[in-house]
Structure 1
Amino acid sequence: MTETLAVLGMTLLVVLAGCGGFAGPGDQPSPSTDVAEPTDSGGPETGTAWIVTVTRVIDGDTIEVVFPNGETDTVRLLGVDTPETSHGSVTPDEFEGIPDTAAGRDHLYTWGQNAAQYATETLAGETVRIETDERADRRGGFGRLLAYVYLDGENVNERLLANGYARLYDSQFTMRDTFRDAERDARDGAVGLWGFEASSGSAPASIAGLSGVAFVSPSRHLRVTSASLPRHLHVDPHGSPTSLGGLGLCYLRGNRAVFAWPDSSDV
């Protein structure tokens, strides 16, 4: 009887162990793949990644943050450059396709303001993750900490490029190729600041406003559409129409082209 009870007791322990999930030496739980990279609890002079709070947005690519230990520092978003917010400080020569004219400077000034507003609406008061890059300088020429900024897991630096608020700042850093592709896509799509249209020239007499610009002919009905100007074409500074080989006319404005051709029902 005693022997039977002992056997029953051992059997019960084995069953309970299986149901209770007792883990043996080889049954350790797998590490989670969702755990974020470790962050530092100190200030900007130690570590490479921190969870910080944005206390001030200075402009489109520069913010002030408070670190976990209470220190405050200025962070320059790594790898991007938004237009200056001061009209006298804009640099058209750094933004390919934007002329160094009054119109070009006005355009960059406007987009510098737009970028600052976007950064303010996106980052002001937010808790974000910032991260330095071992392939880049830790601080820039003005002593600002150079870092990627992540909001809800999304890279804000890259978002500025994709939305046409910034150009690629050509320097050495890990995400350079990714940022270059984002800028190229924005430029090809005339997104944001890359959608510059020259406004200094007026349409010639044979061009009239119709959903932008149209070629006018007393004997033809015309349809009008607009498309991005291929990058290998150049702007006509005088705003004169350009022949499309008998297919119609193209009126060039900045990096946009408006095409006009006879309606098929009237050809």
Structure 2
Amino acid sequence: MKRNVGNVVKVTDGDTLKIRIKGIGIRDVRLLGVDTPEKYGKRECGAVLATQSMEELAPVGSTVVLLSDPSQADKDRYGRLLRYVERKGRDVGRAQIFTGHSKVYVFNNDPVRRTGNYRTAEKQAKNRGAGLWSTCWT
């Protein structure tokens, strides 16, 4: 597992950050195991709220820890690093799911190691009608 520390430079959308990684430079980072509504192109219901939620969870300037998942690729097809993002010991991706601003995402039928934990958070958010579950998703 790769572990890096960096600072958020930009919140691109609800599941992507631009991070200045110590010793590496600025990179786009796509959170593993989560998917939020698209903000660019055909804007989907909840995209702005999901982005705002990410801005609260990982604000510009904040320090984050990036962790790779050995069961997944290092980068996606757009060259973004695929990482779990943690801030102050909190899994940002799981928080996005728990607050109802993201759904669990499994790429190519190959679940990330935290998928079980994420599915539990998603079920709780859905049952509460949290976030986008009350406005965009059924």
Fold equivalence (TM over 0.5): yes
* Partner SS state of residue 49, structure 2: helix
Match of 2:70 in 1: 134
1:59 maps onto 2:44 in alignment: no
Give the Cα separation in 2 of the matches to 1:85 and 1:189.
Answer: 25
Amino acid at match of 1:65: I
* Partner SS state of residue 72, structure 2: coil
Number of equivalences:
134
Amino acid at match of 2:88: D
Deviation at 1:184, TM superposition (A): 1.2
Deviation at 1:87, TM superposition (A): 6.9
Structure 1's 89 and 141: CA in aligned 2 closer, same or farther, altered over 3 A?
A: farther
- Find 2:48's aligned residue among 85, 110, 113: 113
1:192 maps onto 2:131 in alignment: yes
* Partner SS state of residue 177, structure 1: helix
* Partner SS state of residue 28, structure 2: strand
1:82 maps onto 2:36 in alignment: yes
Amino acid at match of 1:82: T
Match of 1:104 in 2: none
Give the Cα separation in 1 of the matches to 2:20 and 2:34.
Answer: 22
Deviation at 1:49, TM superposition (A): 0.5
Deviation at 1:70, TM superposition (A): 4.7
TM-score by length of 1: 0.47
Instruction: Give percent identity, aligned residues only.
Output: 30
Match of 1:50 in 2: 4
- Find 2:104's aligned residue among 138, 163, 168: 168
Give the Cα separation in 1 of the matches to 2:40 and 2:18.
Answer: 19
Matches within 5 A, 1:141-160: 141-160=77-96
Deviation at 1:85, TM superposition (A): 1.6
Highest RCO, 1 vs 2 (Cα 8 Å, sep ≥ 6): 2
Give the Cα separation in 1 of the matches to 2:134 and 2:117.
Answer: 21
Structure with more of its chain in strand, by fraction? 2
Contact 2:106 2:112 in 1 (8 A): no
Amino acid at match of 1:151: R
- Offset from partner CA, 1:177-204 (integer Å, 9 cap, x none): 001111111112111111138xxxxxxx
RMSD: 1.8
Q: Greater CA radius of gyration, 1 or 2?
A: 1
Give the Cα separation in 1 of the matches to 2:29 and 2:39.
Answer: 17
* Partner SS state of residue 9, structure 2: strand
